[in-house]
Amino acid sequence: MMSLDTVKRVVIKIGSSSLTSRHGEISRRKLEKLVDQVVQLKDQGHEVLLVSSGAVAAGYRKLGCLERPSSLPEKQAAASIGQGLLMEAYSELFLSHGYVTSQILITRNDFSDEARYNNVRNTTSILLERGIVPIVNENDTVTVDRLKFGDNDTLSAKVAGLVNADLLIILSDIDGLYDDNPHNNQDAKLLRTVDKITPEIEAAAGGSGSSVGTGGMKSKIEAVKIANASGIPTFLGKAGVSNILDDAVQNKAKGTYFTCAEGALNLNHKEQWIAFNSGPEGEITVDEQGKKEILENSESLLPTHVYSVEGTFQSKSVVRISDLNGEAIGLGIVNYSSEDLTLCRDLEALEAKEAAVKFEDLVCHKEVITPIKI
Ligand X SMILES: N[C@@H](CCC(=O)OP(=O)(O)O)C(=O)O
Ligand Y SMILES: Nc1ncnc2c1ncn2[C@@H]1O[C@H](COP(=O)(O)OP(=O)(O)O)[C@@H](O)[C@H]1O
Residues 158, 111: Cα–Cα separation, whole Å: 9
Work out what residue 101 binds among ligand Y, ligand X, none; the CB cut-off runs from 5 to 8 Å by kind. none
* CB closer to ligand X, 239 vs 329: 239
The residue count for binding ligand Y (CB under 6 A) is 24
- Does 69 bind ligand Y (CB under 6 A)? Our answer is no
- Does 172 bind ligand Y (CB under 6 A)? Our answer is yes
Work out what residue 138 binds among ligand Y, ligand X, none; the CB cut-off runs from 5 to 8 Å by kind. ligand X
- Residue 13, annotated ligand binder? yes
Residues 63-92 that bind ligand X (CB under 6 A): 79
Residue 256 near residue 193, CB atoms below 8 Å: yes
- Residue 84, annotated ligand binder? no
Taking CB under 6 A as the criterion, the residue among 80, 103, 181, 335 binding ligand Y is 181
Edge-to-edge strand ranges of the sheet holding 193-194? 101-106, 133-138, 47-52, 9-14, 167-172, 234-238, 256-258, 193-194
Residues 26-65 that bind ligand X (CB under 6 A): 53-57
Question: Exposure pattern of 164-192 as b/e (b: 16+ CB <10 Å)?
Answer: bbbbbbbbbbbbbbbeebbeeeeeeeebe
Query: How do beta strands 328-334 and 357-363 pair?
Result: antiparallel
Question: In terms of Cα–Cα distance, which of 240, 277, 208, 236 is closest to 11?
Answer: 236
- Does 82 bind ligand Y (CB under 6 A)? Our answer is no
* CB closer to ligand Y, 184 vs 325: 184
Looking at beta carbons, which pairs linking 266-269 to residues 24 or more positions away fall under 8 Å? 266/230, 266/231, 267/161, 267/229, 267/230, 267/231, 267/363, 267/365, 267/368, 269/118, 269/121, 269/161, 269/162
Work out what residue 84 binds among ligand Y, ligand X, none; the CB cut-off runs from 5 to 8 Å by kind. none
- Residue 181, annotated ligand binder? no
Taking CB under 6 A as the criterion, the residue among 76, 101, 214, 277 binding ligand X is 214
Question: 3-state DSSP call for residue 129?
Answer: helix
- Residue 217, annotated ligand binder? yes
Shortest Cβ distance from residue 185 to ligand Y (Å)?
9
Work out what residue 183 binds among ligand X, ligand Y, none; the CB cut-off runs from 5 to 8 Å by kind. ligand Y
Taking CB under 6 A as the criterion, the residue among 82, 215, 231, 255 binding ligand Y is 215
Taking CB under 6 A as the criterion, the residue among 24, 69, 182, 215 binding ligand X is 215
- Residue 308: strand pairing partners: 285
- Residue 215, annotated ligand binder? yes
* CB closer to ligand Y, 155 vs 286: 155
Amino acid letter at 318? V
* Number of continuous H segments (helices) and E segments (strands) in the chain: 14, 14
Residues 270, 198: Cα–Cα separation, whole Å: 26
Work out what residue 159 binds among ligand X, ligand Y, none; the CB cut-off runs from 5 to 8 Å by kind. none
- Residue 173, annotated ligand binder? yes
- Residue 306: strand pairing partners: 286
Shortest Cβ distance from residue 206 to ligand Y (Å)?
3
Where on the chain is the footprint of ligand Y (CB under 6 A)? 15-18, 172-174, 177-178, 180-183, 204-206, 208-210, 213-217
Binding residues for ATP: 13, 172-173, 214-220
